[in-house]
Amino acid sequence: MSKKADAVIIGCGIIGNCIAFELAKKGFKTLSVDRNGDSGAGSTAGSCAIVRAHYSTLEGVAFAWEGFGIWQNWEEYCEVQDDWGMAKYRQCGSVMVKSRDRNWKKILEHWDTVGVPYENWDADTMTERLPILSKTEFWPPSRPEADEDFFGEKEAVLEGALYCPSAGYMSDPKLSTHNVQVAAEARGAEFIFNAEVVEIIREDNQVTGVKLKDGTVIETGIVVNVAGPHSSIINNMAGVEEKNNIKTRAERHEVAYVPSPAGFDFEAGGVQISDGDNGIYMRPEVGNNILVGSEDPRCDTHQWVEDPDEFNRNTTDAQWTAQIYRAARRLPDLGIPNMHKGFAELYDVSSDWLPIYDKSDLGGFYMACGSSGNQYKNAPVAGMMMSELIEQCEKEGLNHDKYPLQFTLPTTGVTLDMGAFSRNRELNPNSTYSVIG
């Protein structure tokens, strides 16, 4: 059995579906394939779907801020009504604690450059606005089983926090991904699920198709790798992984759930909190719960996964305890439940924890990789940018390696040099090597 398409997108997560949607808008006949049974059923389903503007690079801030208006007007962007319902944007605001690593000072400069609205709080203002927060400084982040003074009294006080009122999160990441699938289908895109890619077909250093496990061959001159934690496997199939200076691999991450402090409705009145001083992030969760994740401080060991099909999806006692106990330091009235609630999912992590949005050394083969944990909120803009890159390279003959595409963000007017997302870039020294996923 064989099929034909202008472009094949491997991966039906939020970024893959946005690329399909944007390519379909440009008139490409796209076919998206995914080894799972539905859109967003992979790592996107495990995303915290946080929409924030605090990034360590100017490109990251501009990229994220461009997407705010799309999430706030999600139905307008999708141009359709999904029979499953439409995901909703919860604009709760974000609080970024001023930690001693001073990363917040860089972010403040970027916000001023891009025009992100914010409030600059001192420690007293922070606790006035959010009385449930402690203004105690805990630097550096540590773990309760390794730090003898973890529960000891601390005298130092934080400098304060940065508050971004426009930030928030999407109510359902998987549903939002299905929304974009329906939007793309309305433009003529096709989707195939339970379809595993086993070969990238090549001839004379040019993509000519992909082969699925059931024997189906899809003839195409364009393949876009958006396979999330499986991206390095697809890159190896295409013979491009070793040629990339920036590579990707899968990492296991845990998130924990804990009930809100008694007497406080965190679901309705809480905010998204980035607590680099304490090594965690938090956001409101349904049922008046708080979602707690790790910001990858040095005290937390990276859990690299060799086989993305084989990993523990349950929380572990040590990591769940570390994250919840850190949350309890910042929220002194937080109760510690006896039952562990949470889950683990995989991130697709690049060498410098920043995404690859690029072509490859194989003609017609493109990559949107290394994006897990930090790019959900950028997905619609990434779709626009990748579709423009593909159109410029395939139809206009752009030599992107020599003259990187200059992509102007349509709302903010900021121009991004796509060389910043190149597979051949040097490791970005401004990266925090962490995510809020």
Same domain, 131 and 254: yes
Same domain, 241 and 253: no
Residue 373's pLDDT is 73
User: What distance separates the 2 farthest-apart alpha carbons in the chain?
Assistant: 70
Residue 158's pLDDT is 98
In the predicted model, what is the mean pLDDT of residues 244-255? 95
Q: Are 160 and 95 in contact (CB under 8 A)?
A: no
Domain membership flag for residue 432: no
Domain membership flag for residue 299: yes
Residue type, 161: A
Last residue of a domain, one of 296, 316, 350: 350
Q: Which of 425, 405, 384, 416 is nearest to 62 (CA)?
A: 416
Of the candidate ranges 96-110, 146-160, 325-339, 417-431, the one whose mean pLDDT is the lowest? 417-431
Is 70 exceeded by the pLDDT of residue 323? Answer: yes
Is 70 exceeded by the pLDDT of residue 237? Answer: yes
CB-facing half-sphere around the CA of 181: CA atoms within 13 A: 28
Is 90 exceeded by the pLDDT of residue 370? Answer: yes
Instruction: For the chain, give the mean pLDDT.
Output: 95
In the predicted model, what is the mean pLDDT of residues 188-209? 98
Same domain, 314 and 391: no
Same domain, 50 and 111: no
Domain membership flag for residue 284: yes
Q: Which of 286, 285, 275, 288 is nearest to 331 (CA)?
A: 275
In the predicted model, what is the mean pLDDT of residues 19-34? 98
- Give the start-end residues of each E strand in 140-222: 160-164, 168-170, 190-192, 197-202, 207-212, 217-219
Prior bond of 173 cis (ω within 30°): no
Same domain, 147 and 254: yes
Q: What residue numbers bound the domain in which 238 lies? A: 2-85+172-246+352-421
In the predicted model, what is the mean pLDDT of residues 312-334? 97
Same domain, 253 and 328: yes
Distance CA 284, CA 275 (A): 14
Residue 435's pLDDT is 65
Question: Please, which pLDDT band fits residue 432 given cuts at 50, 70 and 90?
Answer: low
Residue 320's pLDDT is 97
Same domain, 342 and 373: no
Domain membership flag for residue 435: no
Residue 58's pLDDT is 86
Terminal CA-CA length for the chain? 39
Domain membership flag for residue 436: no
Residue 1's pLDDT is 73
Residue 411's pLDDT is 87
Residue 437's pLDDT is 63
Same domain, 336 and 211: no
257-315, pLDDT tens digit by residue? 999 999 999 999 999 999 999 999 999 999 999 999 999 999 999 999 999 999 999 99
**CATH number reported for the structural domain that contains residue 159 in this entry:** 3.30.9.10
Last residue of a domain, one of 322, 350, 378: 350
In the predicted model, what is the mean pLDDT of residues 58-68? 91
Helix (H) or strand (E) holding 33: strand 30-33
Distance CA 100, CA 158 (A): 8
Q: At what angle do helices 58-72 and 103-114 cross, to 10 degrees?
A: 60
Same domain, 356 and 337: no
Is 90 exceeded by the pLDDT of residue 10? Answer: yes
Residue with token string 């924030």: 52
The reply to whether the predicted model has a pTM over 0.85 is: yes
**CATH number reported for the structural domain that contains residue 391 in this entry:** 3.50.50.60
Domain membership flag for residue 433: no
Pull the structure tokens for residue 402: 């020599």
Same domain, 154 and 113: yes
Last residue of a domain, one of 350, 379, 405: 350
Same domain, 375 and 388: yes
Residue 433's pLDDT is 63
Residue type, 184: A
Domain membership flag for residue 101: yes
Q: Which residue has the higher pLDDT, 436 or 325?
A: 325
Question: Please, which pLDDT band fits residue 156 given cuts at 50, 70 and 90?
Answer: very high
Same domain, 316 and 254: yes
Strand partners, 407: 416
Q: Indicate the number of domains in the chain.
A: 2
Domain membership flag for residue 434: no
Residue 428's pLDDT is 74
Residue 137's pLDDT is 98
Phi, psi torsion values for 433, nearest 5 degrees: 55, 45
Is 80 exceeded by the pLDDT of residue 434? Answer: no
